[in-house]
Amino acid sequence: MTLHLSPEQIAALKSTLDWWARHGVEPLPEATPGPRSSAPRASAPSPNPAQPTASAAAARAAGFRQPNPEDDGLALAQSAGDLEALRAALERFEGCNLKNTARNLVFSRGNPKARLMIMGEAPGREEDEAALPFVGEAGQLLDKMLAAIGLAEDDVYITTIVPWRPPGNRKPTEGEVEACLPFAQRHIALKNPDLLVFAGGLSAQSLLKSKTGIMSLRGRWHDYAIDGKTIAALPMIHPSFLLRRPQEKAKAWQDLLALKTRLAAL
């Protein structure tokens, strides 16, 4: 009997098969129908490892592929011993589809030795072109906000939780954020700042493991625990949101003053 599947069902089936393949699930060998025989079977010749077997070819045709160590974000992130090694690990990482559509990896800008680390959300078009975070209109506003409390670029270290631009500057999906999260966490651990700022709801919610909106998270300090250390973290409204809703700048200014006070007390 022939089973007719819709394009959507075929796509879902291939996605499931790909997930199985990533986790080491292999297809069962096909059984050959026919009567049983009591005659001893001839030993099958050992396959040549240099030649793909028929089952391997069938597996590829069905959408299977061998597990790829470069898909394991957690292992790659944890293997990085410093920031340059983390950048190199991200360059090798194949577990986030955004890498296939972005022009550049957007890693960081600023001073790696700064006391303050800012974790944004995802790069936009300008960031993708420059391979630097927060260089577009929102980034220019961020620089002005920091300058208003006496901070220059050398006083901060800036990065994003997702290092590749989503197509059309859309919001990253939960799966895309989850794929990149081990690298963001390792980035914080390796940078080891005295204070953290989560710029925007996406970074605040993902790293604080919270479903609360940014308007409720902002305005108060949170404890961010990593590698046995607790870092004071302040969620803030993303500068791009302030460009759309300038009436919220008063709240952002309150948060900047709280940040200035905390930095002065270090």
Residue 104 lies in a domain: yes
pLDDT of residue 10: 61
Q: pLDDT tens digits for 147-173? A: 999 999 999 999 999 999 999 999 999
Task: Give the total number of structural domains in the chain.
Answer: 1
Residues 6 or more apart from 246 whose CB is under 8 A from it?
none
pLDDT of residue 39: 46
Give residue 202's pLDDT band: very low, low, confident or very high (50, 70, 90).
very high
Residue-by-residue DSSP string for 19-74: HHHHTT--PPPPPPPS----SPPPPPPPPPTTS--HHHHHHHHTT-----GGG-HH
pLDDT of residue 244: 96
pLDDT of residue 67: 52
Residue 31 lies in a domain: no
Residue 162 lies in a domain: yes
pLDDT of residue 71: 75
User: Rounded to the nearest 5°, which phi and psi values hold at 234?
Assistant: -120, 110
What range defines the domain where residue 97 resides?
A: 69-264
Give residue 72's pLDDT band: very low, low, confident or very high (50, 70, 90).
confident
- Asked if residue 239 has pLDDT above 70, the reply is yes
- Asked if residue 228 has pLDDT above 60, the reply is yes
CATH code assigned at 175: 3.40.470.10
Stretch 135-140: mean pLDDT: 97
pLDDT of residue 152: 97
- The mean pLDDT of the chain is 85
Residue, of 56 and 178, whose pLDDT is higher? 178
- Asked if residue 237 has pLDDT above 90, the reply is yes
Please name which of 56, 207, 247, 210 lies closest in space to residue 117, comparing C-alpha atoms.
207
Residue 234 lies in a domain: yes
Residue 187 lies in a domain: yes
Residue, of 129 and 10, whose pLDDT is higher? 129
Stretch 77-92: mean pLDDT: 97
Residue 35 lies in a domain: no
Residue 243 lies in a domain: yes
Residue 160 lies in a domain: yes
Give residue 20's pLDDT band: very low, low, confident or very high (50, 70, 90).
low
Percent of the chain with pLDDT over 70: 74
